[in-house]
C-alpha cells in the first residue's frame, strides 16, 4: 500500500533528513514513528504526499510512484491522503462545519470550490466525519471556542471528508494534555479500524506508541533503527 524503496532526502544545505529507508506499510496498519527531534520522522512522512521531494529512491502509494508523478498527479494523490499537524490550522472565526467541508475542495474543480458550491453529499460527509470524532453537537460552533483536543478532532474530520486511504499525522498530540491526547488517538485508531484507513503518525512518547500502534517504527539520524510490535518498542532509541 505504501512502499519506500531506498528513500533518502538530503536538504539543499546538506543536512540529511532521511537516509536509505526501505519499508512496506500495509493497508489498515496504525504505524507510530518514534525517535528524537531531528530523527527524520517529519521528513519521512512528508515524502508520502510529496510535501518533501526525495533525493534518492522511490515512494509508492497504492502501487503508484509519487516520486516521478506530474504535478497534476501529485494533486490527485494528495486528495487521497489526509494530513494533520501539531497545529490544527483551523479558521478560528469560522464554524466547525465550514472548517471541515473545506476538506472536500481536494475533490472539486477549483471554480466550484471558489464559489463554495458544496453538494448535499459533501454536507453528509461532514456530518458523518463529525460523528466519528464525537463533535456532531459542535457543527455551528466557532472553531476558536473549542478546546485544543476538540480542534484537533475537527482537523481529523476535515481530513476524513477527503475519504482518504491514508492519514498522515505529524506530532498530532504534541500540544495536548494527556486526556485530550488519548481521546484524539482513540478516535484515530477507531477510524483506522472502521474505515480501513492506513495511519502513519509521529509521536514523542514511546508509551503512547506502545498503547496505540499496531506497529512501531523507530528512527535515528534519518534511518530506521526499529521496526516491530508495540510491546517490543523500548525507550532505548
Q: How many residues lie near ligand ADP (CB under 6 A)?
A: 13
Contact status: 194 vs ligand ADP (CB under 6 A): no
Q: Which is nearer to ligand ADP, 15 or 207 (CB)?
A: 15
By CB under 6 A, residue 134 contacts ligand ADP: no
Angle formed by the axes of helices 148-160 and 120-132, to 10°?
140
Nearer to ligand ADP by Cβ, of 45 and 101: the residue is 45
Instruction: Kindly state whether residue 11 participates in binding ligand ADP, applying the rule CB under 6 A.
Output: yes
**Of the two residues 53 and 137, which places its CB atom closer to ligand ADP in the complex?**
53
- Work out how close the CB of 203 gets to ligand ADP at its nearest, in angstroms, rounded to a whole number: 11
Please tell me whether residue 37 binds ligand ADP under the rule CB under 6 A: yes
User: According to the binding rule CB under 6 A, does residue 47 interact with ligand ADP?
Assistant: no
For the window 56-85, what string marks contact with ligand ADP as x by the rule CB under 6 A?
------------------------------
Residue number closest to ligand ADP, CB atom? 42
Residues that bind ligand ADP (CB under 6 A): 11, 13, 15, 17, 35, 37-43, 202
Amino acid at each position: 500500500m505504501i512502499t519506500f524503496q531506498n528513500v533518502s532526502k538530503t536538504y539543499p544545505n546538506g543536512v540529511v533528513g532521511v537516509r536509505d529507508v526501505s519499508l512496506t506499510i500495509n493497508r489498515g496498519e496504525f504505524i507510530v514513528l518514534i525517535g528524537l527531534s531531528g530523527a527524520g520522522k517529519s521528513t519521512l512522512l512528508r515524502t508520502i504526499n510529496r510535501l518533501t521531494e526525495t533525493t534518492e529512491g522511490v515512494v509508492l502509494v497504492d502501487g503508484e510512484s509519487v516520486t516521478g508523478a506530474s504535478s497534476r498527479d501529485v494533486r490527485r494523490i494528495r486528495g487521497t491522503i489526509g494530513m494533520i499537524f501539531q497545529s490544527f490550522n483551523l479558521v478560528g472565526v469560522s464554524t466547525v462545519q465550514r472548517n471541515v467541508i473545506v476538506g472536500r475542495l481536494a475533490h472539486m474543480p477549483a471554480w466550484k470550490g471558489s464559489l463554495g458550491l458544496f453538494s448535499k453529499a459533501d454536507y453528509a460527509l461532514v456530518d458523518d466525519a463529525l460523528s466519528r470524532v464525537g463533535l456532531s453537537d459542535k457543527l455551528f460552533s466557532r472553531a476558536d471556542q473549542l478546546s485544543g483536543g476538540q480542534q484537533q478532532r475537527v482537523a481529523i474530520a476535515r481530513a476524513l471528508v477527503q475519504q482518504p486511504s491514508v492519514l498522515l499525522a505529524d506530532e498530532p498530540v504534541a500540544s495536548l494534555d494527556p486526556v485530550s491526547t488519548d481521546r484524539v488517538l482513540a478516535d484515530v485508531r477507531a477510524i483506522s479500524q472502521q474505515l480501513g484507513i492506513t495511519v502513519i503518525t509521529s509521536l514523542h512518547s514511546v508509551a503512547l506508541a506502545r498503547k496505540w500502534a499496531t506497529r512501531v517504527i523507530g528512527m535515528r539520524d534519518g534511518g530506521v533503527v526499529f521496526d516491530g510490535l508495540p510491546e517490543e518498542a523500548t525507550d532505548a532509541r
